[in-house]
Amino acid sequence: MSSFDRRDFLKLCGAGALTAGLVPGARLAFAAPEANAYDTLIVVFLRGGCDGLSLVPPTGGNDRAYYEIARPDLTVPISGNGAALGLANSGSGWGLHPRASALHALYQANKLAVVLGAGMPAPVTRSHFDAQQTMEYGTPGSTGSATGWLTRYLTSANLPANITIPALSAGSITASSLIASTEAITMGNGNDFRIDSSAWPWNARDRYRDDNGNINAPAGFRGLVEVLPDLWAGDSALEAAARQTFDALSIIRPMNFGAYAPGNGASYPTDGFGNQLKMIAQIVKADLGLRVAAIDLGGWDTHNGQGVPTSGYDPFGNTVESLSRGLAAFYTDLDGAGAANYTSRTSIIVMSEFGRRMRQNGSDGTDHGYGNMMMALGGSVNGGRVYGLDVFAGLADQALFEGEDVMVTTDFRRVLSEALIRRLANPRLGRIFPGYGGYSPLGIFQGTDLPPDYDGGQDAIFRSGFEPG
């Protein structure tokens, strides 16, 4: 099923229908919530290389001793002020950073799982941009793909043709995991996502309303919003991208993001991450068919003065708190009862391009490392457990990669593949992660196992980026 089916569908709706609301209004109007009939996967990317050893520090065993030696000025303590929050079912003992108390509560409720020693097994790269791109393309060893792993999930998923928003990248520039997808909307703020800035009488048909709020534009009226697509009818890649943009604008325009009231008393942080999570929650609840979303949280490149939770100066902890409060608010918002229970079909994966060096550097920071933690959150996550412990190499000098970094012992694709198969029911791993093999589930997600399909058949449409075939 190619992405062009969605565009064809839009065309069938006709230009008038586009501005009036693409699909019959009730679906777009944030009507009474009902749990969706499909799963949504949210991928949170911690940009800059999150220091996993501070977010999930060892709290017991030999690894704790090695950690304290390597991090004398950055230690997250295990007792007293600023102590790590212990995690049950974590072997010799691991904890969460104290500023992640909201995530800790979700762990205790068995909704949050942690994976240790996760990352990209080969090639090793300590470049932010190389590592981010390789992971988001899902093609370790090659950045020549020019399509993201979520893009290839979409093109191999056999989704129904009439899905309104199958994929969302939060922000202004598309995440690499969704690069070259003609199905994804990239949007930073739902309220602002409309071209309403020109002179009102000629802006759009929907500026003309009767007393009941129904559109009653003059006969034959076509405003800027209606005429604009006529300018972009050509077949260059730029024009194709603009048509995708107009699709997105026409879908979002009738929606009222400002009036949204989060469910269950959820309180989102007012930072960019919180606002974008809230936007995603609205789209999940509006039942627009959202299958995957990518969202970033930056600020993790802590080479210098990263701070400790025992001090008032704790920039790393501030970022942890954004992550923790944002994700907890999102979970709470979606965690209604009965028909308002979206959490059972919404899963979140938290990942970063690499972990940081075991030893602190000379400026109370940490430099680029290798293995890292990952997290999974959701109503269908087998949470309250730390995964990857059976193969985790530990923190002894001889167990570290090059004597310096946490070893990668769990392929990040193994975690993502489990979400793809057990939650999104797409086992076409050969297309989504070319060259990856030997998958077996860790048991992080509930769901049905499907035999992995390692056939790497390519979708011809995407060979040349988003230039249509």
Partner 1 sequence: MPAAFPIAPDRIGWLQKATFGFSTPEDYDLLQLPGATVDAKWEAWVERQLAPASIADADCDARLGAAGFATLGKTLQQLWAQHYGDGANYYNRMLPVAETECATMIRAIYSKRQLFERVVNFWHDHFSVFGWEYDIGPIFTHYDRDVIRPNAFGNFRSLLEQVATSTAMQFYLDNYASRGADFNENYARELIELHTLGVGNYFGPGDPFSVECLDSLIHCPDSMPAGYVDNDVYEAAGALTGWTIRNGHWQYPGDNDGTFVYRSDWHDRRNKIFLGEYLPANQPAMQDGRMVFDRLVAHPGTARFVARKLCRRFVGDTPSQALVDAVAVQFNTHIAAPDQIARMLRTILLSAEFKTSWGTGMRRPFEVTMSALRGLGANFTPRPDNTSAWTTTERLVSHLQQAGHRSFAWSPPNGYPDRQTAWASTGSLAMTLKLLAWVPEMRVDNDGSSAFIADILAQTRAALPDAAARTAAAIIGYWATRLLGYQPEPTVSVVTAFLQQNAAANAPINIDEDVWNTGNLARHYTQQRLRTAVGMLLMSPDYFRR
Output 16 or 298, the one with its CB closest to partner 1. Answer: 298
What span, in angstroms and rounded, lies between the C-alpha atoms of 174 and 245?
Answer: 12
Output phi, psi for 104, to 5 deg.
-60, -40
The two beta strands, 410-411 and 346-352, are unpaired
Ordered DSSP codes for 213-230: S-B-PPTT---HHHHHHH
Strand ranges in 72-183 using DSSP code E only, listed in sequence order? 85-87, 94-96, 112-119, 167-170
Work out how close the CB of 261 gets to partner 1 at its nearest, in angstroms, rounded to a whole number: 24
Work out how close the CB of 218 gets to partner 1 at its nearest, in angstroms, rounded to a whole number: 4
Output 73 or 455, the one with its CB closest to partner 1. Answer: 73
Angle at 144 between CA 139 and CA 148, to 5 degrees: 55
Strand, helix or coil for residue 69:
helix
Work out how close the CB of 442 gets to partner 1 at its nearest, in angstroms, rounded to a whole number: 27
Output 1 or 227, the one with its CB closest to partner 1. Answer: 227
- Single out the residue of 456, 423, 447 nearest to residue 38, CA to CA: 423
Structural tokens at position 115: 């994976």
Work out how close the CB of 305 gets to partner 1 at its nearest, in angstroms, rounded to a whole number: 7
Output 368 or 414, the one with its CB closest to partner 1. Answer: 368
Contact criterion met (CB below 8 Å) for 151 and 180: yes
What span, in angstroms and rounded, lies between the C-alpha atoms of 78 and 60?
Answer: 9
Residue with tokens 């370790």: 140
Question: How many other β-carbons are positioned within 10 Å of the β-carbon of residue 415?
Answer: 24
Output 24 or 465, the one with its CB closest to partner 1. Answer: 465
Output 27 or 222, the one with its CB closest to partner 1. Answer: 222
Work out how close the CB of 48 gets to partner 1 at its nearest, in angstroms, rounded to a whole number: 7
Output 169 or 332, the one with its CB closest to partner 1. Answer: 169
- Exposure string of 179-196, with b = 16+ CB inside 10 Å and e = fewer, is bbbbbbbbbeebeebbee
What span, in angstroms and rounded, lies between the C-alpha atoms of 229 and 245?
Answer: 10
Output 46 or 442, the one with its CB closest to partner 1. Answer: 46
Burial of 144 (0-12, 13-18, 19+ CB in 10 A): exposed
Work out how close the CB of 171 gets to partner 1 at its nearest, in angstroms, rounded to a whole number: 6
The two beta strands, 292-297 and 40-46, are parallel
Residue with tokens 């303590």: 77
Q: Helix (H) and strand (E) counts for the chain?
A: 12, 11
Output 62 or 129, the one with its CB closest to partner 1. Answer: 129
Alpha-carbon separation of residue 178 from 20, 168, 272, 365 (angstroms)? 28, 8, 20, 32
What is the maximal distance between C-alpha atoms in the chain? 78
Work out how close the CB of 183 gets to partner 1 at its nearest, in angstroms, rounded to a whole number: 11
Output 314 or 367, the one with its CB closest to partner 1. Answer: 367
Output 206 or 418, the one with its CB closest to partner 1. Answer: 206
Work out how close the CB of 46 gets to partner 1 at its nearest, in angstroms, rounded to a whole number: 13
Work out how close the CB of 365 gets to partner 1 at its nearest, in angstroms, rounded to a whole number: 6
Work out how close the CB of 190 gets to partner 1 at its nearest, in angstroms, rounded to a whole number: 11
Work out how close the CB of 187 gets to partner 1 at its nearest, in angstroms, rounded to a whole number: 5
Work out how close the CB of 282 gets to partner 1 at its nearest, in angstroms, rounded to a whole number: 16
Listed in sequence order, the residues at least 6 apart from 185 whose beta carbon sits closer than 8 Å to its beta carbon are 165, 167, 168, 169, 248, 251, 252
Ordered DSSP codes for 235-273: -SHHHHHHHHHHHHHHHHTT--STT---GGG----SSHH
Output 170 or 376, the one with its CB closest to partner 1. Answer: 170
